[in-house]
Amino acid sequence: MEQIIIHVDMDAFFASVETRDNPALHGKPLIIGSLPQERGVVATCSYEARKYGVHSAMNIKEAYRRCPNGIYMHPNMDKYKAVSARLHEIWNTYASAAEAIALDEAYLDVTEQAKSMEGARRIAMTIKQRIKDELGLTCSVGVAYSKTAAKAASEEKKPDGYFEIPTPQDFVNLMLDRDVRSLYTVGEMTAEKLYASGIRTVWDLREKKDTVIRLLGKQGKWICDLAFGIDDRKVTPYRPQDAKSISREVTFQEDVNNHTLLKDVLTLLALCVEHRAKRYHLYGNGVTLKLTYFDMKGITRSRLTADCNSAVMIRREAVRLLDHVEKRPVRLIGVGIYNLSGEEGRQLTLDDFLNDKKQQRETELTGLLQDLQARYHLDFAGHLTQLYQSDILYKTVEYMRKHS
């Protein structure tokens, strides 16, 4: 049996949740992300805001220029994650495999459950109705023979839409005259390379396949396959242990030139990275430091190490990296661990057998937190776990910056 895949995509998810919870926002241009006076970008926005040309990932200053009368809000990630958990419960009911792409989007393999496109249509309509009845939200759903086609189908009738692409030929017929950007994986830079070679549409990709492959290599072959409707990828459930890295970063509202403050922020970021790694029983073998300077120049530095599984060691390695980079005003700082493995794939180190090493790290962490408390008049007692929430971390870092 040919695979049958459903792609579910919530409509303006964050904005829709806020509008559901506050009907006074209905019909208003709502922008979720940073506030106009802050640094940052748009996370998502209502369809009313999109009429002004606002879109996700847009610089918040540009969004405000286009839509000065919009309503701007910080995201409430805890609320959205709770709603997302309920969404996934609904989706998973009808699929043999579910691949979550984001909080609000997933591919569902319904081949066995549906048996046919008609069966898939019934499942899709049931999902849409349950989301509306149980959560008060709308979604757009595409049903197709492949992941690429299913995603294209869900985009076709947004918002609150439904569309089917049963066969590769149906996909080709739909996409043939469209811009290359309409295909999965074709981003702005790739599109510019294609445009420069006179390749602007999906039809052009098919007609100039050799040119595309010569220009883009393996990526070009993949894009050309899509232009012919070929995509045999399976729905693969996401597993945290499959991640290549774990990281956390913050953007300062004003550039920071205070090296002590940067090291203090690394303490908090390292705690967040440690928390997430422990949550999924993952271990890293390398530390990465990320910086964006005031002029938007970004750098990344990394260091392999067999011992970077505690906040103390993550911070220690990140500080070493920080001490060897150019000292200029910093706009963004981040830290992460990479070369991840699970418990069964981890090579034990001597420290695993030495309790005094663990005690030393706990003592060092206590000292670091006491330094923060003394320097910024913060009280972490009983509140340390709140730092793992994005909004609390951001507010804490901004408080530290203002009082440094």
Same domain, 398 and 249: yes
Same domain, 207 and 274: no
Query: Is 131 domain-assigned?
Result: no
Same domain, 269 and 311: yes
For residues 291-305, average pLDDT? 93
For residues 46-73, average pLDDT? 96
Same domain, 388 and 260: yes
Boundary-marking domain end, from 59, 77, 95? 77
Query: Is 326 domain-assigned?
Result: yes
With a pLDDT cut of 70, the percent of the chain lying above it is 95
**pLDDT at res. 335:** 96
Boundary-marking domain end, from 31, 49, 77? 77
CB 149 within 8 A of CB 174: no
Query: Is 2 domain-assigned?
Result: no
Residue 343 annotated as catalytic:
no
Report the DSSP pairing between strands 341-342 and 330-338.
unpaired
Active-site annotation holder among 18, 48, 99, 105:
105
Q: Which of 26, 27, 25, 105 is nearest to 73 (CA)?
A: 25
Lowest mean pLDDT among 48-52, 123-127, 389-393: 389-393
Same domain, 323 and 388: yes
**Could you give the CA distance from residue 343 to residue 340 in angstroms, rounded to a whole number?**
10
Same domain, 250 and 285: yes
Same domain, 186 and 222: yes
Model pLDDT for residues 219-277, shown as the tens digit of each residue: 999 999 999 999 999 999 877 666 788 999 999 999 999 999 999 999 999 999 999 89
For residue 366, what is the domain's CATH number?
3.30.1490.100
**pLDDT at res. 350:** 47
Query: Is 213 domain-assigned?
Result: yes
Q: Classify 110 as helix, strand or coil.
A: coil
Query: In the predicted model, is pLDDT for residue 41 greater than 60?
Result: yes
Boundary-marking domain end, from 25, 51, 77? 77
Number of H helices, E strands in the chain: 16, 14
CA 7 to chain centre: 18
* pLDDT category of residue 358 using cuts at 50, 70 and 90: confident
**pLDDT at res. 4:** 97
pTM of the shown model: 0.79
Query: Is 127 domain-assigned?
Result: no
- Crossing angle of helices 218-227 and 209-216, rounded to 10°: 150
With a pLDDT cut of 90, the percent of the chain lying above it is 76
State the chain's mean pLDDT as an integer: 91
Backbone angles phi, psi at 188, to 5 degrees: -60, -45
Same domain, 259 and 391: yes
Query: Is 148 domain-assigned?
Result: no
Same domain, 281 and 181: no
Report the DSSP pairing between strands 71-73 and 30-33.
parallel
For residues 184-194, average pLDDT? 90
**pLDDT at res. 346:** 45
For residue 213, what is the domain's CATH number?
1.10.150.20
**Tally of structural domains, the chain:** 3
Same domain, 308 and 251: yes
Same domain, 206 and 275: no
**pLDDT at res. 382:** 63
For residues 25-53, average pLDDT? 94
Query: Is 347 domain-assigned?
Result: yes
Full domain range(s) for residue 177: 172-227
Same domain, 196 and 262: no
Q: What count of other Cβ atoms lies within 10 Å of the Cβ of residue 253? A: 18
76 CB-contact burial (10 Å; exposed 0-12 / middle 13-18 / buried 19+) = middle
